[in-house]
Each structure stands twice: as C-alpha cells, then as structure tokens.
Amino acid sequence: MQMSGNTILITGGTSGIGRALAEAFHAEGNQVIITGRRKHLLDEITAANPGMKAAVLDVKDSHAIASVAAQLKLDYPNLNVVIHNAGVSRTEPVKEGKTDNAEAMVATNLLAPIRLTAVLLPLLVTQPQAAIITVSSGLAFVPHAMYPTYCATKAAIHSYTQSLRYQLKDTAVQMLELIPPYVQTELGGTQQASDPNAMPLKDFIAETMHILKTSPDAIEICVERAKLWRFAEANGSYDALFKQQSDS
C-alpha cells in the first residue's frame, strides 16, 4: 500500500497498537480517523495530533457500525484504507460455564470487522488505490489454552482475510494482515504494558512501518518476533510451543 496521501480509518484507536498506528500514519502525511467508545479519549488524542479526526463507535453494536460508517462515507468520500484494530482479550476458565466474555470477543474481534467491511467495501472498490488491514495475532497460529475464544477469533480473522484477498484480487483493494506478537499494551491488562516478555510497542510499530514502506506488495505484515508463531506449524515446533505457552 502507499504510505502517504491516504484517508485511513482505524478502529480501536484510543490506546495500544491502534493509537500508535494512528500517530505513525498521521506523521506520514495521511488523513487519519480513529474510532473508540470513549469520547474524552478521542478528544485527547485528536488534540495532541492536530488534523486527526475521530468518531465515537462501539464496534460490538451492529446498528452503530451501520450508522457511523454511513456518516463516514459522507464525510470522507476519499476513504481508502481501513484498519480493523479494535480487539478484546480475556482468559476463559471454561469449567465455569460462562460465555459473556466469549460473546464479547466474537462481536468485537470477528463480527465487527466483517460488518464494517461489508458497509465500507462499496466505497473502497471505487478508489484508485485501497487497502483493508486486519489485525490477527501470533495466537491465530498457535493458540494459548487459557484464551480459547480470543485465539479462535484471531484464527478466523486470518481465514477471513485470505478469502477476501481472493475475492478482491481483481480490484484495487489490497487485503493485508498484521500479525502482532505479544506486545506491551494493555490488551490483557495493565501489567502487560510493562511486561519484559512482551515486545515494546514503539519497536513493534517501527518494524511494522518499515515493512510497509520497504515491502509494498506484502500481504502479511509479520515482524521478526511474530514469526515463531506464524511458522510453527510449518517448521514442526507447533506442539512444543502450544504446550510451553499454555503451561506458563
């Protein structure tokens, strides 16, 4: 994808990878629109990044997706990049027999990208250049047993991205998949942001932007640290890695 002159929508843009990507693309000379549930956070981020725009959106709400997307198409007719970053991760002790967290994760991590893509794709296919970037995870390729639904949604996103890439191969819309490793964000709780076992967020963003700049035809954006998971099945390390991380 081209790195400047885009109009980019990023869901879940108020923290973590979403905010960092928004600021990185904003610095490259793109019009960036972020979404999130909390208006005060959106206001803080846009104030700190003059020219960045925002829209309040709870991606779990299908009606809100349809309404906000319709307004975005009116306000930003040149919208040509969508980054499906919003996500939620929760542990699930399945013996407790509860599904609330599972349903929230499916709605946020899987249904939201599907719904938003469906609404925005008619606009994207009219643009001279366009891209949809889904955010999966290293755990899409080797799951962690304590996060069964989270890992399943990310595996589904990988599969969904492959299918859309095939269907859109004769259009100007690129389908890219960003595959983060374990990164210092608050996705799994506040302690994750300072976990020395996680990749520093600034390093992840720097390597991601480097790949995008130097490999414009790449279909998977996989930093070196994520390759352990991405290629575990192919190199025979899957079973050992699954057990190691699930036991930890």
Amino acid at 100: D
Which residue in 35, 36, 28, 34 sits closest to 6, CA to CA?
28
pLDDT for res 26 = 98
Contact in structure between 42 and 54 (CB atoms under 8 Å)? yes
What's the token pair of residue 15?
């923290």
Burial of 119 (0-12, 13-18, 19+ CB in 10 A): middle
Residue 54 has φ and ψ, to the nearest 5°, of -150, 155
Encode pLDDT of 152-176 as tens digits: 999 999 999 999 999 999 999 999 9
Encode pLDDT of 99-129 as tens digits: 899 999 999 999 999 999 999 999 999 999 9
Output the average pLDDT for the chain. Answer: 97
Encode pLDDT of 213-247 as tens digits: 999 999 999 999 999 999 999 999 999 999 999 99
Instruction: For residues 58 and 65, give the distance between their C-alpha atoms in angstroms, rounded to a whole number.
Output: 8
Burial of 157 (0-12, 13-18, 19+ CB in 10 A): buried
Write out the CATH class of domain 7-247.
Answer: alpha beta
pLDDT for res 204 = 98
Task: Specify whether 150 is catalytic.
Answer: yes
Catalytic residue among 150, 166, 182, 238: 150
Can you list the alpha helix ranges (DSSP code H) found in 107-231?
A: 112-124, 148-167, 201-214, 227-230
Mean of the pLDDT values across residues 9-37?
97
Residue 92 has pLDDT above 90, yes or no: yes
Q: What is the DSSP secondary structure assignment for residue 197, as one 8-state letter?
A: T
Q: Residue 248 — very low, low, confident or very high, per pLDDT cuts 50/70/90?
A: confident
pLDDT for res 156 = 98
pLDDT for res 20 = 98
Mean of the pLDDT values across residues 85-112?
94
pLDDT for res 91 = 94
Q: Domain ranges for the chain, please list them.
A: 7-247
pLDDT for res 97 = 87
Mean of the pLDDT values across residues 140-156?
98
pTM for this predicted structure: 0.97
Instruction: For residues 13 and 162, give the distance between their C-alpha atoms in angstroms, rounded to a whole number.
Output: 24
